[in-house]
Amino acid sequence: MKLNSVLGCLLFVFVGYAQQHSKVWQADNEDGTYTNPILHSDFSDPDVVRVGKDYYMTASSFNCVPGLPILHSNDLVNWQLVNYALKEQVPFEVFNVPQHGNGVWAPCIRYYKGEYYIFYPDPDFGIYMIKTKNPEGDWSKPLLIKPGKGLIDPTPLWDDDGKAYLAYAFAGSRAQIKSMLMVCSMKPDATAVLNDDVMVFDGHETHPTIEGPKFYKRNGYYYLFAPAGGVATGWQEVLRSKNVWGPYEYKTVLEQGNTTINGPHQGAWVDTVTGEDWFVHFQDKGAYGRIVHLQPMTWKNDWPIIGKDQGNAIGVPVKTHPKPNVGTTYSIKTPPDSDEFNGITTGLQWQWHANPKLKWGFPTSDGHYKLFCKPRPDNAESLWDIPFLFLQKWPAEKFTATTKVSFTARENGEHFGFLIMGRKYAYLKVYKENNKLFARLATCSDAEQGEEEVLSKPIAVKSGELFLKIQVENGGVCQFYLSENGKRFNQIGDSFSAEEGKWIGAKIGYFAMREGVTNDSGSLAIDYIRFTND
């Protein structure tokens, strides 16, 4: 191989793996402070573990694949998306088709005796465990350690005497009971639990919808950090006891107060190498999903206070605050959003709505990502039923996403969409009809119920070489544009107010589709997608 060919290949790989800073979101103010949220993306139900100087976060992923994102940080403010722990969801026959709102619910990540563990619930099957020695490498296959419909939010505790326990909650939609926290014994290797379950807290009277526990031990107390009051409107409760089986006393430690941060709860208590304590939690923000905040945490009489103390030992969320003292300063990092598609691997920001198949799409050696016009499934009344949606989370409150694509339609009826997906959706549709190409905006006001799409007036386009743009403004208001030269953009259709999906935020991305089956299909070659503040 010639030297220039070798260098070209190395550059190709490097560009594919390089992560650029987001141009639309950064929590680090570069003056020793940060501003919440630390992630303005839908990393729902976050949990974090510290091992040495490294923090690893995971989050719910529901029906999106790959699942269980793994994010890394050294200072709790600057985060990179580095892996997924779940390449496919099990059982495969279930998750080979979209399962909106099902799949991976609130997980828990822990480190014990040289291994990282994630415990995650599937509300229809039970509690799974996976593990690894390298969180940025391969994880083990899911092991169902506690079967049961409606079991959710597992959290382990390895005690000082070597014994192990698992706390969890119930999903009322499956178990027909809820607002209770449970504890059972677990084998120290986390491969099975015992049938000695005990209810340690009943929240029906004082803390309805208590769920999402996280198990800790400090100063001889067993602690269960648990959110109550509902995803968008609740607060953070902490329970403590000198006995793992209880009884537990309880106290509210974080609430919205007079701030704009609603439902501040469900997350992780972590510390720093310098001895500080911090709490990572989410805020439900409608179409934007559940975005991630970081709160300082102190202790008083062996009770935590999270956020800014209101004077009653109950905290409220902070907006801007000095960064955690981790002993040194780290560079700016953000999860990826823009993608030049120059690498030989798919960017980590991209997920599908079901277990993926190779024939849906893949990177190409000429610097594109290619999607193929797959047949519409027989039962698909809307995009809600389509598995081959190639999507990523929204990265900020306001942004412009511009993409350059090349559409090769082999037959009439083939089309692609540049898409905003949720319970409602809209996409800029480019399609072939009467051997010509046209563009229009398609919107659906209720995808879950199979509402028919409404189409704007079609406009003719000269070729499949196109530049498309979506502008997202405050509140998730979206406007779609098209250009044939990358300079002059024309508005397509009216503005569209996005809506979240089922337990996930709205997403942005692509699909390519056709009616009927042939022995070949048209394709969409994506050159780039760039997120800016324009």
Catalytic residue, chosen from 28, 42, 45, 153, is 45
* Strands in 452-498 per DSSP E: 454-455, 459-461, 465-473, 477-483, 490-497
Residue with tokens 């139900």: 45
Out of 47, 75, 122, 211, the active site residue is 211
Count H helices, E strands: the chain? Answer: 3, 39
Question: Which residues, other chains included, contact 298 with Cβ-Cβ below 8 Å and sequence gap of 6+?
Answer: 277, 304, 305, 309
- Degrees (nearest 5) of the Cα angle 375, 465, 441? 60
Tell me if residue 534 is catalytic.
no
Angstrom distance (rounded) from CA 193 to CA 53: 31
Q: Which residue has the tokens 């709205």?
A: 506
Please spell the DSSP secondary structure of 35-100, one letter per residue: ES-SB-S---S-EEEEETTEEEEE---BT-BSEEEEEEESSSSS-EEEEEEESS-SSHHHHTS--T
Q: In this structure, what is the dihedral angle of CA atoms 49, 278, 128, 121, given to the nearest 10 degrees?
A: -160
Report yes or no: 475 and 457 within 8 Å, Cβ to Cβ: no
67-73 β-sheet, strand order: 47-51, 54-58, 67-73, 80-86
Q: Give the phi and the psi of residue 262 in degrees, each rounded to 5.
A: -80, 155
**302 is a catalytic site residue:** no
Give me the active site residues, please: 45, 211
